[in-house]
Structure 1
Amino acid sequence: MDLQELDRAKYISLTTFRKDGTGVATPVWFAAEGGELYVWTRSDSWKVKRLRRDGRVVVAACDVRGRVEEGAETVEGTARLLGDADLKKVRKLLSRKYTWQFWVVDVPAAVVRRGKRPHTGIAVTLRTR
């Protein structure tokens, strides 16, 4: 799967793996840059906990509900959790791709959190074929 082709999708299904090897797929917003996909999520999410233990992921284009079209290509990769400095880059990439939608979600949530942003950035490197 070509990274530019994938970047045209609005959502990706990001599958992370439990200790027993069971995959857990979650639809997420993402942006591509420099050969990697970037995602952000709440720091206390299960996907962050799973990625701390196992960086394997599987990615596929999906819809907002996480439905992957039958026959759609999936790509394996490796994810790493990013530090606070890199989170600013991820937020900038996502706000550029999702424009007003990003701000409609992010600003009200920041008000509720009193400006605190308990999020973690994730960088995904896809395996080339």
Structure 2
Amino acid sequence: MAPMAPSFSDLAEAEYILLTSFRKSGEGVATAVWAAPDGERLLVWTPTDSYKVKRIRRNPRVEVSVCDLRGRPKSEPVEAAAEVLDDAGTEEARAAIAKKYGIKGWIGVKASILRRGRKGTIGLAITVPQ
């Protein structure tokens, strides 16, 4: 049986989601990320200088699916839109990740701040049409 398209709840509860952003050529580039629900959107936290941030700034169209740690899809992808967050939004994303992922999320966020500084990571908000 083929995997089904995930609901927002499926994505919000998944340990990892596969976030696919698109190059200028239209080619998709997928990355497994942590994501935490925030109302009607998913918050993701990633290095500020990552190519996915540059691609999303240029084109907010993304696809998301449930995946495993290695980025192997466990569901069909769904179309979504991503937005790069400001400093306050990034703090919300860090807090949401730490809350959802417990001690490993808290350690991951704190270690990243120590390694990269507060400006070294940035939050993304992903809106999945209902």
Distance 2:89 2:112 in 1: 20
Post-superposition offset of 1:33: 1.9
How far is 1:26 from its partner?
Answer: 0.2
Give me the whole-angstrom Cα distance separating, in 1, the residues matched to 2:66 and 2:57.
24
Where 2:98 maps in the other structure, the secondary structure is helix
Give the Cα–Cα distance (whole angstroms) in 2 for the partners of residues 28 and 63 of structure 1.
10
Query: Aligned residues, how many?
Result: 125
Moved over 4 A (4+): none
Structure 2 residue runs of 5 or longer lacking an equivalent are: 1-5
Tell me what 2:67 maps to: 62
Q: Give the distance between the partners of 1:117 and 1:46, measured in 2 at CA.
A: 16
Conservation of the 8 A alpha-carbon contact between 2:113 and 2:120: no
Equivalent-residue separation in structure 2 for 1:66 and 1:99 (angstroms): 21
Over the aligned positions, Cα root-mean-square deviation in angstroms equals 1.4
**What's the TM-score, normalizing by structure 1?**
0.89
Which residue among 26, 32, 47 is the counterpart of 2:31? 26
The TM-score with structure 2 as length reference comes to 0.89
The percentage of aligned residue pairs carrying the same residue is 43
Distance 1:90 1:51, change over 3 A: same
Letter matched to residue 22 of structure 1 = E
Structure 1: 5+ residue stretches without partners: none
Name the aligned partner's letter for residue 37 of structure 1: L
